[in-house]
């Protein structure tokens, strides 16, 4: 994907966001957001948050996801539910709302809530990308754990956690206590999916796997082989449910056919992966 950058360190005036996407650097409540035009796609935009790649949006095609880990998550979701499903979803971490836009397009009967801690960023994103309106997609400004804890029991089919502060997910969103909160908000057969960023040591991924496996009967991991072998830093997708996940042939085949082929680990392999790790708890110092 080619990129066209605006001059560095030049803040775009806030009212420019009202006119739609304009390449440049913007001040937000938690730092800066840089919007970069995709040189290879007239409808494409890359969002950088505090210097790190965060999201890519194709304004003409919400079903186009540039980030491979997002495609893996949506592959798991589409393996579980048919397009007509009346899903109630909660996305923790909004950024450019790439996955929520996808959910609205792929599941027209769905109702999707996105939680974003940065109110100014949420305002920009809705202005830039003409997001679907409520009840299809509702943007809620707040801290992810507090909002999740405020929701009714068994009120969501799907929770996606994609929250980062720098390169790490805030500790409070990784613990067994928070996982239990998410589980309580899910329907009995609902699915909890997390995007875990980790280094080649895989220490974080092992602990997250152990934590989610302790809460849910069924767990899966999706990642590329190099990541799972500890050869690079990157994303590992971990999901839990009280109902079987990815137990057919279709999902592994789809994952292997992507631009970056990925492996699907079932619950036996995930539990083995996390068996030497300790469950994450609130009592630890983050």
Q: Going from the N-terminus, what domains does the chain have, and what CATH number goes with each?
A: 3-58 (no CATH), 68-274 (3.40.50.150)
What kind and span of H or E run contains 75? helix 68-80
Contact 105, 74 (CB under 8 A): no
Strands 3-4 and 52-58: unpaired
Q: What per-residue confidence (pLDDT) applies to 120?
A: 95
Give the pLDDT of residue 3: 45
Stretch 247-276: mean pLDDT: 95
Residues 131/109, Cβ–Cβ less than 8 Å: no
Q: In which element (H, E) is residue 215 found?
A: helix 203-215
Contacts 24+ apart (CB under 8 A), 130-134: 130/20, 130/59, 131/97, 131/100, 131/101, 132/101, 132/104
196 CB contacts (<8 Å, ≥6 apart)?
169, 204, 205, 208, 235, 236, 237, 238
Beta bridge partners of 49: 33, 52
For residue 139, pLDDT over 70 is answered with yes
Q: Looking at the DSSP assignment, which residues form a beta bridge with residue 25? A: 11, 34
225-243: per-residue pLDDT in tens?
Answer: 999 999 999 999 999 999 9
Give the closest residue to 187 by CA, choosing from 86, 282, 114, 258: 86
Q: Are strands 88-92 and 111-116 parallel, antiparallel or unpaired?
A: parallel
DSSP-derived letter for residue 173 is: G
Grade residue 15 by pLDDT with cuts at 50, 70 and 90: low
225, containing H or E segment: helix 225-228
Could you report the per-residue pLDDT of 80-135, keeping only the tens digit for each?
999 999 999 999 999 999 999 999 999 999 999 999 999 999 999 999 998 999 99
Residue 12's pLDDT is: 65
pTM of the model: 0.94
């Amino acid at each position: 994907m080619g990129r066209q950058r605006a001059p560095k360190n030049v803040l775009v005036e806030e009212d420019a966001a009202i006119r739609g996407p304009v390449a440049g650097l913007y001040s937000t409540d938690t730092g800066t957001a840089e919007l970069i035009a995709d040189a290879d796609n007239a409808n494409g935009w890359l969002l950088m948050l505090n210097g790190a790649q965060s999201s890519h949006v194709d304004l003409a095609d919400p079903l186009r996801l540039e980030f491979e880990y997002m495609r893996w998550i949506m592959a798991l979701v589409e393996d579980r539910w048919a397009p007509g499903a009346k899903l109630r979803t909660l996305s923790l971490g909004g950024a450019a709302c790439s996955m929520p836009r996808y959910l609205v397009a792929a599941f027209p009967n769905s109702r999707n809530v996105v939680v974003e801690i940065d109110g100014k960023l949420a305002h920009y994103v809705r202005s830039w990308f003409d997001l679907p309106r409520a009840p299809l997609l509702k943007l809620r400004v707040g801290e992810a754990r507090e909002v999740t804890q405020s929701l009714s029991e068994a009120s969501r089919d799907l929770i996606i956690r994609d929250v980062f502060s720098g390169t790490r997910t805030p500790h409070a969103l990784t613990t067994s206590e928070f996982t239990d909160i998410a589980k309580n908000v899910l329907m009995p057969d609902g699915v909890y999916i997390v995007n875990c960023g980790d280094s080649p040591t895989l220490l974080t991924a092992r602990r997250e796997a152990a934590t989610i496996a302790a809460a849910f009967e069924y767990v899966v991991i999706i990642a590329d082989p190099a990541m799972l072998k500890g050869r690079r830093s990157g994303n590992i997708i971990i999901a839990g449910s009280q109902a079987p996940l990815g137990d057919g042939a279709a999902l592994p085949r789809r994952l292997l056919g992507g631009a970056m082929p990925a492996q699907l680990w079932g619950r036996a392999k995930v539990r083995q992966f996390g068996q030497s790790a300790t469950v994450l708890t609130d009592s630890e110092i983050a």
